[in-house]
Amino acid sequence: MLALAGAGLVAALATGRPELALIALPFLVFAGAGVVLAEEPAVSATVEPGRVRLLEGDNLGTTVRVRNDGRVPVEVEVALVRAKHLAVSPAGTVALRVDARSEAEIAFSVRPGRWGAHGLGPLTVRARDALGLTTWEGRLGERIDLRVFPREERLRELVAPLRTQPFLGSHVARARADGIEFADIRPFQAGDRARQVNWRASARRGSLQVNQRHPEHSSDVVLLIDTFEEARDQASGTLDAAVRAAAMLARAHLGRRDRVGVVDFGGTLHWLEPAFGTTQLYRIVDALLSSDIAFSYAWRKVDSLPQKVLPPGALTLAITPLLDERSIALVSELRTRGFDLTVIEISPLDHISRGPTAADAVAYELWRLEREALRARLRALGIGVAVWESGGSLGPTLEEVNAFRRSARAVLRA
């Protein structure tokens, strides 16, 4: 603007045409007014999300407050800095005018597309004076960490453990002791309580018979998440489904008073020892949110894990896409060592499309058959393998595992 005014005035002087100077004068006045009126903006801004813990797919209302403590109105353009998996509406920049010594609000809607810890904020702010001649840019507000939890399905059936622990729980133990579930009757022995006597059976048999019952015990459950490798398309990947499955299983088992631990088995190794209760659920979910694929050449074996992470008699649920040789070797080794193991296979087929050529189609079919053969090999070892298609319900998958475990009980106990 100043350059235009200057050019006009100089041209007027050079050519002796006063019209050019007269045309340039409004530009000069504009530039002068801009300089006189403009002042360093006293703008502050805050990002206020409705909450910081939410489920994936939830809409989070977020208010951005912009305050102008200056003496003149400012035009402000505000954009929310956000993590990759957060969709913000309105997208991009929002332009508004904030009067002198007043505050303006902008309502954003934030939608997380994926579980995890996502950063929201600070704000990128560009402020202009009333005439738009001077511009200030900067970042205002603070980064807020949103904890986005995977959306869960309520599980009605869980994988029944082979062995239970002598703590009160919800699993009917195979042992006989005090409990609710009727197991058998046997002849009365000294020390038996009178309330245990089954009078109807005693009358029929002519001698005192007592009821035997199965006690309700808890079990140890270890969720083994394979983070060696994943199949991923633009929308989602097998690790997303694995974390969702692990969160569902952890919540369901802890709800049944089981001790639950988590092992993140991949390029990096993380674990949480089995424990009871709601606190453990929050620990597990927090640990799951930081799960990620870490590329590594390292070959890890069961020995890499501390013993207390895999307690004897624990039910181990391996959640894996069965893509990496190391995770396949691990589940085989665990079973060989006598662990009660079940594999919940997160199907990678949804994320891998067959190629366009006939050769691609053949290769895809061969790969699919190889996976079938792998499942058969694991089942022959006594490992229950059930495939969970992403988007489907986990309940039927667990029922499939239980059906296998019922039919292969002899192998499993071996």
Residues that bind another protein (CB under 8 A): 1-4, 6-10, 13, 15-33, 35-36, 38-40, 73, 75, 77, 90-97, 104, 106, 128, 130-136
Report how far residue 324's alpha carbon sits from residue 318's, in angstroms, rounded to the nearest whole number: 13
Nearer to another protein, 59 or 135 (CB): 135
CB of 264 to another protein, least distance (A): 38
CB of 24 to another protein, least distance (A): 7
CB of 80 to another protein, least distance (A): 11
DSSP state of 50: S
In terms of Cβ atoms closer than 10 Å to its own Cβ (0-12, 13-18, 19+), residue 373 is exposed
Query: How far, CA to CA in Å, does 228 sit from each of 115, 121, 328, 373?
Result: 19, 32, 11, 21
CB of 230 to another protein, least distance (A): 33
Phi/psi at 364 (5° precision): -65, -45
CB of 82 to another protein, least distance (A): 13
Nearer to another protein, 132 or 338 (CB): 132
Nearer to another protein, 10 or 363 (CB): 10
CB of 335 to another protein, least distance (A): 55
Report how far residue 104's alpha carbon sits from residue 112's, in angstroms, rounded to the nearest whole number: 26
CB of 62 to another protein, least distance (A): 14
Report how far residue 365's alpha carbon sits from residue 354's, in angstroms, rounded to the nearest whole number: 9
Nearer to another protein, 95 or 203 (CB): 95
Nearer to another protein, 19 or 153 (CB): 19
Given the structure tokens 């969160």, which residue do they identify?
Answer: 247
Nearer to another protein, 26 or 396 (CB): 26
CB of 105 to another protein, least distance (A): 10
CA 132 distance to own-chain centroid: 45
Question: Could you tell me how many residues make up the chain?
Answer: 414
Report how far residue 129's alpha carbon sits from residue 29's, in angstroms, rounded to the nearest whole number: 16
Nearer to another protein, 9 or 309 (CB): 9
CB of 69 to another protein, least distance (A): 18
- Under a CB-based contact definition with an 8 Å cutoff, are residues 168 and 160 in contact? no
Nearer to another protein, 15 or 407 (CB): 15
Report how far residue 413's alpha carbon sits from residue 338's, in angstroms, rounded to the nearest whole number: 8
- Under a CB-based contact definition with an 8 Å cutoff, are residues 197 and 204 in contact? no
- What value, to the nearest 5°, has the Cα angle with vertex 247 and ends 389 and 399? 50
Report how far residue 107's alpha carbon sits from residue 314's, in angstroms, rounded to the nearest whole number: 49
Cβ-based neighbour number of residue 277 at 10 Å: 12
Query: How far, CA to CA in Å, does 92 sit from each of 67, 125, 363?
Result: 20, 12, 43
CB of 50 to another protein, least distance (A): 19
Nearer to another protein, 135 or 279 (CB): 135
| DSSP run (H or E) holding 181 | strand 181-187
Nearer to another protein, 91 or 403 (CB): 91
Residue closest to 84 by CA, chosen among 59, 108, 110, 107: 110
- Characterise 22 by phi-psi region: left (phi > 0), alpha (psi -120 to 50), beta (else): alpha
